[in-house]
């Protein structure tokens, strides 16, 4: 251990970064143990010698965890000696604060939201599904359900002139819609019947050919997402369906391809891990993995409280869960032994109702809570969120991060709040 004068201990450190434009020499530096991230950021900026005199805010990681106290406090907490080895510190450009952008007003509670490409889909307790441009321009309110809409998902949304999406409701049905974007016209193509309770969650599979739904009736059901009537086999009168459709007859009824049981309480969230693997979260305190090809349960994770939501990252291959005990937890579904919970994120003061991963950064996710706050988290900083995003006057019911630059929350104050965001780390982390 080196000292400066007779007082502050020093420690040897080296700096590394994956962001090549900010690289500095890898030789050891002697820094006082009292340094904070602000001090370290100043040191890196001095070493960079910016031509324009500008400074960059940096964050610092040791062993994959963000430094949130002084270096000396961190070493003491981790029982790391500052005399035996050189401490390697990774630095990354600090994530900027999201900027409040716009608010989309509904007529009742906004229970669900999902964005894709240039549009936003929302479900409301006034029984309607709503379509918006991502700039907030309202396109239409779509009637069809007879009770509050509890979940929505895009099935196909891209450059093609026709998009498809699905909506589930307290009325026990799932509706599959076709949207002609140029005409801004929507047709309900199928009514999926089979649940005996509220359809609370829905997700489209990676191939966009199947949908899974979870319900208050405790059942997981798989449905065809194909909008072609010719492929329907559920009812005998298929020969006349196409003609009836063009004549404006009532919507064709679709039945599930598969029903899976095992939960002892309502299913609150569903997501696809792979083409034939679905994950569910439930009010029965469990998360379950299902093999769709074998029509069986693969495994389950036991929690201590109600699970209200879960989200899967294709980038990190991990799950985050929202719970009634106010915690967010990170799970690796590939782990078969050892600690099931990889990390816990504790900051909310109410039930955590919804979680959503960044689609471009494996470390970042959102959480929304009954405490009216949406939080932006980095998995490398489990003790504190990066930012608290406020503005709602009532409990948050859903969050979404499907469009990389838009952080979206929906709440019981009848509003969707949108924050603009620029991720400084995504290009190098993905």
DSSP secondary structure, 48-83, as one string: HT-TT-----EEEEETTEE--S-HHHHHHHTT--SS
Give the N- to C-terminal CA distance of the chain in Å, as an integer. Answer: 38
Q: Where are the domains of the chain?
A: 2-93, 99-429
10-residue mean pLDDT profile of the chain (430 residues): values are 59 92 90 93 89 84 91 88 82 94 97 96 98 96 97 87 96 97 94 98 96 98 84 39 40 94 98 96 96 95 94 96 96 76 93 97 97 97 94 98 97 98 68
404, 359 in Cβ contact below 8 A? Answer: yes
Could you give the CA distance from residue 404 to residue 268 in angstroms, rounded to a whole number? Answer: 25
Nearest one of 219, 130, 112, 216 to 171, comparing CA atoms? 216
- pLDDT for the residue numbered 338: 58
Tokens encoding 356: 């959503």
Could you give the CA distance from residue 407 to residue 99 in angstroms, rounded to a whole number? Answer: 9
The residues with which 100 forms a beta bridge, in sequence order, are: 419
Is the CATH code 3.10.20.90 the one for domain 2-93? yes
- pLDDT for the residue numbered 8: 78
- pLDDT for the residue numbered 371: 98
Nearest one of 189, 155, 194 to 173, comparing CA atoms? 194
Tokens encoding 98: 């999201």
- pLDDT for the residue numbered 228: 76
How many other C-beta atoms lie within 10 A of the C-beta of residue 348?
26
How many other C-beta atoms lie within 10 A of the C-beta of residue 360?
16
Tokens encoding 168: 């589930």
- pLDDT for the residue numbered 339: 64
Q: Give the three-class secondary structure for 258.
A: strand
Tokens encoding 102: 């716009």
Nearest one of 344, 271, 273, 272 to 303, comparing CA atoms? 344
198, 169 in Cβ contact below 8 A? Answer: yes
Question: Which residue pairs, CB below 8 angstroms and at least 24 apart, start in 245-248?
Answer: none
User: Assign residue 5 a region: left if phi > 0, alpha if psi is -120 to 50, beta otherwise?
Assistant: left
The residues with which 127 forms a beta bridge, in sequence order, are: none
- pLDDT for the residue numbered 428: 44
- pLDDT for the residue numbered 88: 93
Pick the CATH number of 99-429 from 2.40.110.10, 2.130.10.10, 3.90.70.10, 1.10.10.10: 2.130.10.10
The answer, as to whether pTM is greater than 0.75, is yes
| Cα–Cα separations (whole angstroms), residue 179 to 84, 168, 187, 189, 243 | 65, 17, 7, 10, 20
- pLDDT for the residue numbered 235: 40
């Amino acid at each position: 251990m080196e000292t400066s004068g007779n007082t502050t201990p020093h420690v040897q450190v080296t700096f590394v970064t994956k962001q090549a434009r900010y690289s500095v020499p890898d030789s050891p530096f002697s820094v006082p143990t009292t340094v904070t991230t602000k001090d370290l950021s100043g040191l890196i900026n001095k070493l960079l010698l910016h031509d324009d005199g500008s400074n960059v805010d940096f964050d610092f990681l040791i062993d994959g965890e963000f430094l949130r106290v002084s270096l000396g406090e961190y070493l003491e907490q981790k029982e790391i000696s500052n005399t035996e080895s050189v401490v390697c510190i990774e630095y990354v450009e600090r994530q900027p604060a999201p900027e409040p952008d716009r608010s989309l007003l509904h007529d009742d509670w906004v229970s669900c939201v999902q964005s894709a490409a240039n549009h936003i889909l929302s479900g409301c307790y006034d029984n309607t599904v709503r379509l918006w441009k991502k700039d907030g321009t309202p396109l239409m309110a779509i009637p069809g359900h007879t009770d509050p809409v509890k979940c929505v998902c895009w099935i196909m949304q891209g450059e093609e002139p026709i998009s498809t999406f699905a909506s589930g409701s307290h009325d026990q049905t799932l509706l599959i819609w076709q949207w002609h974007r140029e005409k801004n016209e929507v047709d309900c193509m199928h009514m999926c019947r089979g649940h005996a309770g509220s359809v609370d969650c829905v997700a489209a599979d990676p191939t966009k050919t199947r949908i899974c739904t979870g319900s208050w009736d405790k059942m997981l059901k798989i449905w065809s997402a194909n909008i072609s009537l010719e492929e329907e086999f559920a009812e005998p009168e298929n020969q006349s369906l196409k003609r009836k459709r063009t004549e404006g007859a009532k919507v064709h009824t679709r039945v599930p391809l598969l029903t899976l049981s095992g939960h002892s309480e309502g299913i609150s969230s569903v997501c696809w891990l792979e083409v034939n693997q679905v994950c569910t979260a439930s009010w029965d305190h469990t998360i379950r993995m299902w093999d769709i090809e074998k029509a069986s349960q693969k495994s389950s994770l036991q929690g201590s409280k109600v699970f209200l939501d879960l989200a899967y990252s294709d980038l990190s291959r991990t799950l985050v869960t929202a719970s009634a005990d106010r915690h967010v937890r990170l799970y690796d579904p590939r782990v078969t032994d050892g600690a099931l919970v990889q990390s816990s994120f504790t900051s909310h003061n109410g039930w955590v109702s919804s979680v959503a991963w960044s689609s471009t950064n494996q470390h970042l996710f959102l959480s929304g809570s009954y405490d009216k706050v949406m939080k932006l988290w980095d998995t490398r900083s489990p003790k504190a969120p990066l930012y608290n995003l406020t503005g709602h006057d009532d409990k948050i019911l859903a969050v979404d991060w499907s469009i990389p630059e838009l952080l979206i929350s929906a709440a019981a104050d009848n509003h969707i709040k949108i924050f603009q965001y620029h991720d400084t780390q995504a290009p190098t982390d993905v």
